[in-house]
Amino acid sequence: MAFVRTAVRTVMGCRRPLEPLWRASARCYSVQAEHTTEKSVPYAKTLKQEDAHKGPTKPLPRAADAVVIGGGSLGCQTLYHLCKMGMTNVVLLERDRLTAGTTWHTAGLLWQLRPSDTEVELLAHTRRVVSSELEAETGLETGWIQNGGLFIASNKQRLDEYKRLMSLGKVYGIESYVLSPAETKDLYPLMNVKDLYGTLYVPKDGTMDPAGTCTTLSRAATARGATVIENCQVTGIQVHTDDLGVRRVRGVETDFGTIETPCVVNCAGVWATKLGEMAGVKVPLIAMHHAYVVTERIEGIQVVFHARLTSMRDHDASVYLRLQGDALSVGGYEQNPIFWEEVSDKFAFSLFDLDWDVFMQHIEGAINRVPALEQTGIKSTVCGPESFTADHKPLMGEAPEVRGFFLGCGFNSAGMMLGGGCGKELAHWIIHGRPEKDMYGYDIRRFHHSLSSNNRWIRERSHESYAKNYSVVFPFDEPLAARNMRKDPFHQVLQDQGCLFQERHGWERPGWFNKDGPAPVLDYDYYGAYDVKKNSDYKYNELLGKEYTFDFPPHHNTIRDECMTCRNAVAVFNMSYFGKFYLSGPDAKKAADWLFTADINKKTGSTVYTCMLNKKGGAESDLTVSRLEPGPAHLPLTPESNGDVYYLAIGGGVAQHNWSHIQTVLQDECFNCTLTDQSEDMGMISIQGPKSRDLLQEVLDADLSNEAFPFSTHKIVTAAGHKVRAMRLSFVGELGWELHIPKDSCLPVYHAVMAAGAKYGVQNAGYRAIDSLSIEKGYRHWHADLRPDDTPLEAGLAFTCKMKTSIPFLGRSALESQKAEGLRRRIVCFTIDEKVPMFGLEAIFRNGVPVGHLRRAEFGYAINKTIGYGYIRNPEGEVVSPDFVRGGEFTLERMGVQYKAKAHLKSPFDPENRRVKGIYSSE
C-alpha cells in the first residue's frame, strides 16, 4: 500500500543513525524513557520556547490559598474556575512551559454525546468555555472549530448504541441525527460506505487547540488575580499531622522557595504518581504511549469540503480521523499499547518514535474507511505519553490519605475534552468541600484502598480499559482483568454451583447462576497481546459475550426463575461484599446524630434505614445502622464499648466512599470516635421469601415471630452451632432476614440453611435478581436512582429524615429550604406494557416535551413489565408536584422509538408493604 510505504520512508528518513525502524520483537509490553526530541506536531503554535528562562518566570509568593501543580488543560481550567468562584490568591506551578508533557500534543477532539448524563454535562461546559465564554471575557480566540462529529456503525449493535446516545441528547438539547450510508456519503464524500450500517451525526461537535486554550485560560485567570509561574519544578509537598492525628497539606517546596498553602491540586498528568508520593498519596494511574499520524496534503480537500470536514470515529475499526488543515490526522486505541515504565522528569515537549508494529492496525482501519489515504503520505508522527486509569475515568477529589491534597489527573487522553467541566467541578470541590454534580465516577474514593496501590490491578485493568475504549458500552459488561482480588468464604461453593460473578470494589459478588455448571474467571490474558497466550474454552467469557446485546439476554428466563423463587418460596443471596463498620467512642451518639438523617435514638437491638448527606442535602450514601449493646469485645460480631456503639452495613461497591465520607465528617466536627472496618472478617447471606421464616426457624435458636422478632430489629443468635447476627430486613420486598456471620462460620451456616431449605424449594440467587426485585419494590440503589446530586426529598426518601425532631444533622438546613420552596425535580416510577428492555438513559417525555431521563431500569418479573425510575423537571421551571405527575401523558424514548408509559407515585408492587411484614394471606 502506497500509504504504508510512504509512512515507512518518512520515519526512516527522520530516525537516528543505527536506530532500527522496526523493533526486533512485536512484544511491546513496555519501554524505558527512550524518546526523540524533535517531531512535527500539527498545530500553528505551541508554547515551547527554545530560549526559555532557566529559572521561574515570576517570583514565588510566600503563601497561597491553593497551589495548582501542572500547566496542562486540567491545571489551567482548575485555576481559571477557582478564580471565577472567588478564590484568587492561587498559584499555578509548571515545571516547564504551559501544555508541556501531554497536553501540547493532544488531538483536541470534543464529542458531546457519551453514555453518561454527568459526562454529557461536563462536556457541555467545556464546549461553552472554549467556544464562547473565554473569548467574550478576554477577546482572545481559543482555536475552537465547530466542524461536527460522525460516529460510524458497521453493525446493528453499534448503531443501537448511537441511537441510545441520540435519545439522551434530546434531554440536553444536543442536535444529532442518525444517517443512512447514502446520507453519510453526501456529508463525507471521501468515505467508503459499502460496509456501513449507519452513522450518528452531531453537527456541533468540534476541535480545540491546546496552546490557544491554555494561553487564554491562564490570561483570564491572571487577570482575576492568579499567579502563573513556569519553569518551576516542585521538589516536595509539606504535610503535617494535627492534634487529632489527621495529616494535612502545609506547603509546596521548590528549588526556588516554599509556598505555604493548605491546598495542593495535583494536575501533573503522567507525573501525578510521583507528585503523590511526595505527600504519601497513592495515585493509581499508569503511563502509556498514545499516538496519531498526520498525512501529507490531500489534494482538493479544502475545495471539496467548502464547509469544514467533520471529525470521524469508526469505533469498530478503533480509529478516528480529524481534518488537520489540508490533511487528516489518524489515531485510535490498540490492543497492545506500550507501557512507559520509567517516567522521565526531563520529558516536556518531546515525543517517542512511533512503533509501526503497534500502530499499523489503525492504518488499515483508516484506509478501509477513507480509501484515498492509500495514496497519501505521512507528514508527521505524534507519539507522546498519556496517563490511563483502571476504569478509563479520571482521578479527582480530595485524597483519603491527606486532607487538602486534591487530584485532577489520569484523564485517559480526554483532558482537553473534559477539562472545562472537570475544572469547574474540582474548583467547587476545593472551595465548598463537594462538587456540584455527581462526580462519584471520577472520585478517587471509588477505588478501595487495597486496590489503588496494587500494581497488578492498576496495570491489568488499565490495559483492558484502554483496549476496550472504543468497544460498545453494554449495560451488563464485566472486566476480565485483575479479577479474584477479593473473595468471600462462599466463593468456591457458589462457583461450583454455576455462579457467574460480577466484580465490584475488587470483590467477586454473585451475578446470576448458570444452570450448565461452573464458569470460573481465569487469569487475565491481555486479549492475546504481548505474546501472552489467549485463554481458550473460556466459559465465563463466552457467557459474558451473550450479555453483549441491547435486547433481553439468553439467560433472561434464568434470572426470572431466581426472582420468582424469591417471590413465591425462598432464595438465598450472598451479600458478603457489603461494607461492615463499627462506630464507637465517647462521641459516637453525637456523630451518629449528625451523620445520619434518620433518628437513631432507639433502643438497642433496633436497625434503621438512613441516608448520609452533604452540606447541600445531597445523598452521599444510604445504609442501615444498628444500635448495639455496650460490652466487651466479641469480634467480629461486637466491638468493645462502654457506651454507644453502632453497626453500619453499606453496599460493598461504595464502601471506600462511605468510609472516607464518615472519616471526613468526624475530622471536620472533631468528634472523638473510632471507626473500625470488619468487612473482610464477616460474611453475609440474606434469606428472603414467603418461606424464609419457616426455613430459618429450623436453623436459628430464636423465635422468629412478628412479636418476638419485628421488622428492623437484630439479635445475636446461634445458627448450626455458630454465633451470628440476624437482622430482619429486606432489600427485595419480602419477608426475610440477613445473617452476618464470622468468616470461619460462613460455610457451616450456609450449608445448614441450604439443607433446611431443600423442602421449601430454596435456591441461590444473585445481584441481577436483586436489581429486578428491588426496582419492583421501589427500593433505591445508591449511585443509580440516588446520588450526591439528589436529595432525599427529591428521591422519595423523606421518611428517612428526622425532620419532625429538633435534632440537627448534616444537610438538614438545605432540606428545610427545599421543602419550603417546593421540589423542582422529583423521582417518578414508570412502567410500559411493551416487552422491550430498558437500561437507563432513556429520555422521558411529558406531553411531548423532554423532562428528564431514566436513571435506572430493569424488567420486573412479578408484574411482567419493564420498570424505570427517573427524575423529572417542569419545563417552565415551576414546582414538580404530584398533580404535575398525574396530569401528564408520558412516553419513554428508547433508541429513537417512543413507548407510552404509565407514571407511578408509589411502587407498582406491594405498595402497602404487606409482604415485608410477613402478610401473604390476602394473596
Domain locations along the chain: 66-104+211-284+391-442, 143-207+288-385, 455-549, 570-578+682-760, 579-678+791-806
Write down the pLDDT at residue 255. 95
CA distance 328 to 301: 9
Pick the closest to residue 777 from 566, 612, 574 (CA basis). 566
Nearest to 442 by CA among 498, 396, 374: 396
Spatial distance between the Cα atoms of 868 and 772, rounded to a whole number of angstroms: 11
Confidence of residue 673 (pLDDT cuts 50, 70, 90): very high
Identify residue 634 by its one-letter amino acid code.
Answer: H
Q: Are 60 and 229 in contact (CB under 8 A)?
A: yes
User: Any idea which residue has 509537598 for its cell?
Assistant: 237
Q: Which fold has domain 570-578+682-760?
A: Gyrase A; domain 2 (3.30.1360)
Residue range 660-682: mean pLDDT, rounded: 97
Binning pLDDT at 50, 70 and 90, where does residue 530 land? Answer: very high
Query: Is residue 723's pLDDT more than 70?
Result: yes
Residues 6 or more apart in contact with residue 559 via CB below 8 angstroms: 512, 768, 769, 772, 861
Please say if the pLDDT value at position 444 is more than 90: yes
Q: What is the mean pLDDT of residues 410-436?
A: 98
Query: For the ranges 99-113, 126-140, 293-307, 411-425, which has the lowest average pLDDT?
Result: 293-307
Looking at the chain, the whole-number percentage of residues with pLDDT higher than 90 is 91
Going by C-alpha positions, the residue among 532, 502, 534 that lies closest to residue 519 is 502
Alpha-helix runs per DSSP H in 678-834 = 692-697, 746-757, 767-777, 812-821
Helices (H), 788-860: 812-821
Query: Does residue 125 surpass a pLDDT of 60?
Result: yes
pLDDT higher than threshold 50 for residue 25: no
pLDDT at 308: 67
Q: Residue-wise over 53-71: b if at least 16 C-beta within 10 A, else e?
A: eeebeeebbeebebbbbbb
Check: CB of residue 560 under 8 Å from CB of residue 861. yes
- Single-letter amino acid code for the residue at 229: I
Q: What is the pLDDT of residues 748-774, one digit of tens each?
A: 999 999 999 999 999 999 999 999 999
921, pLDDT greater than 90: no
β 763-765/571-574 pair status: parallel
d(CA 377, CA 13): 13
Q: Which of 536, 401, 394 is nearest to 462 (CA)?
A: 394
pLDDT at 196: 95
From first CA to last CA, the distance across the chain in angstroms is 73
Q: Do residues 700 and 717 lie in contact, with contact meaning Cβ atoms separated by under 8 Å? A: yes
922 pLDDT band, cuts 50/70/90, is low
Q: What is the mean pLDDT of residues 54-61?
A: 94
Tell me the C-alpha distance between 749 and 638, whole Å: 19
- For residues 91 and 24, which has the higher predicted lDDT (pLDDT)? 91
pLDDT for position 467: 97
Would the pLDDT of 568 be above 50?
Answer: yes
Length of the chain as a residue count = 923
367: its cell numbers: 484506509
- Grid cell of 77 as nine digits: 481550567
Confidence of residue 675 (pLDDT cuts 50, 70, 90): very high
Nearest alpha carbon to residue 65 among 430, 443, 535: 430
Q: Do domains 66-104+211-284+391-442 and 570-578+682-760 have the same CATH topology?
A: no
Residue 301's pLDDT is what? 76
Q: Rounded CA gap, 73 and 65, in Å? A: 21
Q: Compute the average pLDDT of residues 150-173.
A: 97
CB atoms within 10 A of CB 701: 10
What Rg do the C-alpha atoms of the chain give, in angstroms? 28
Task: Give yes or no for a contact between 588 and 646, defined as CB atoms under 8 angstroms apart.
Answer: yes
* Domain covering 143-207+288-385: architecture: 2-Layer Sandwich (3.30)
Which cell numbers in the block locate residue 562? 431466581
Q: What pLDDT band is residue 33 in, cutting at 50, 70 and 90? A: very low
Containing 574, the helix (H) or strand (E) segment is strand 571-574
- Decide if 440 contacts 513 (C-beta within 8 A): no
Instruction: Give the pLDDT mean for 294-312.
Output: 76
Confidence of residue 618 (pLDDT cuts 50, 70, 90): very high
Architecture of domain 66-104+211-284+391-442: 3-Layer(bba) Sandwich (3.50)
Buried b (16+ CB within 10 A) or exposed e, 757-779: beebebbbbbbbbbbbbbbbbbb
State the average pLDDT over residues 447-457: 96
User: Using one digit for the tens of pLDDT, what is the confidence trace for 831-851?
Assistant: 999 999 999 999 999 999 999
- Maximum Cα interatomic distance, the chain, rounded to a whole number of Å: 87
pLDDT for the residue 307? 55
Give 638's DSSP letter. B
What pLDDT, on a 0 to 100 scale, did the predictor assign at position 20?
25
* CATH-assigned architecture of domain 579-678+791-806: 2-Layer Sandwich (3.30)
Please give the Cα distance from 610 to 407 (Å, whole number).
Answer: 30
Mean of the per-residue pLDDT values for the chain?
93
* pLDDT for the residue 7: 47
- Answer whether residue 158 shows pLDDT above 90: yes
pLDDT attached to residue 481: 98
Q: What is the pLDDT of residue 309?
A: 80
Task: For Cα atoms 198, 199, 201, give the angle at the middle one, nearest 5 degrees.
Answer: 150
Rounded Cα gap, residues 381 and 351, in angstroms: 9
pLDDT of 730 reads: 98
